[in-house]
Amino acid sequence: MNETEQKPKYYTYPEAAQLLRCSEKTLYNRVRNGDIQPLRNGKLVLFTEECLESFLRRGCNKTISYDEDNITDARNARLVEERVSRHGSIE
C-alpha cells in the first residue's frame, strides 16, 4: 500500500456513537432497525467511516428519543453533516 492510499477506519459502538453524537442505545436501535449496516464477525461489530457517512447522507431526520441528556438524532446528524462538509470526514 503506498502513502496516498489510506486504510479504512473502523469504529466500535462507543466510538461510532461519539462520532454521531448520539447515545450507544440510539446507535444499537439504528442498527437493529437496519438504518446503519455495520460489519460483523461473530460478536465483533465494527462501523466503517463509509457506513456512518452513508447513513448521514441518506438522512436521519427521524427522532428516536429525546431526554434532557441527549438531543435529537436529527440535530446530531446535522452537526455531523456540517463537520463532514467542512473537513471531508467525520473526524
- pLDDT tens digit sequence for 43-84: 999 999 999 988 888 876 554 444 444 445 556 666 666 766
Q: By percentage, how much of the chain surpasses pLDDT 90?
A: 43
CA 11-48-4 angle, to 5 degrees, is 105
Q: Could you tell me if residue 71 is inside a domain?
A: yes
Which residues, at least 6 apart from 15, have a Cβ–Cβ distance to it below 8 Å? 47
Residue with cell 446528524: 77
Range of the domain at 50: 10-87
Q: How far apart are CA 75 and CA 80, in angstroms?
A: 9
Q: Could you tell me if residue 17 is inside a domain?
A: yes
Residue 10 has pLDDT above 90, yes or no: yes
Q: Could you tell me if residue 3 is inside a domain?
A: no
Q: Could you tell me if residue 58 is inside a domain?
A: yes
Q: Could you tell me if residue 79 is inside a domain?
A: yes
Give residue 67's pLDDT.
46
Residue 90 has pLDDT above 90, yes or no: no
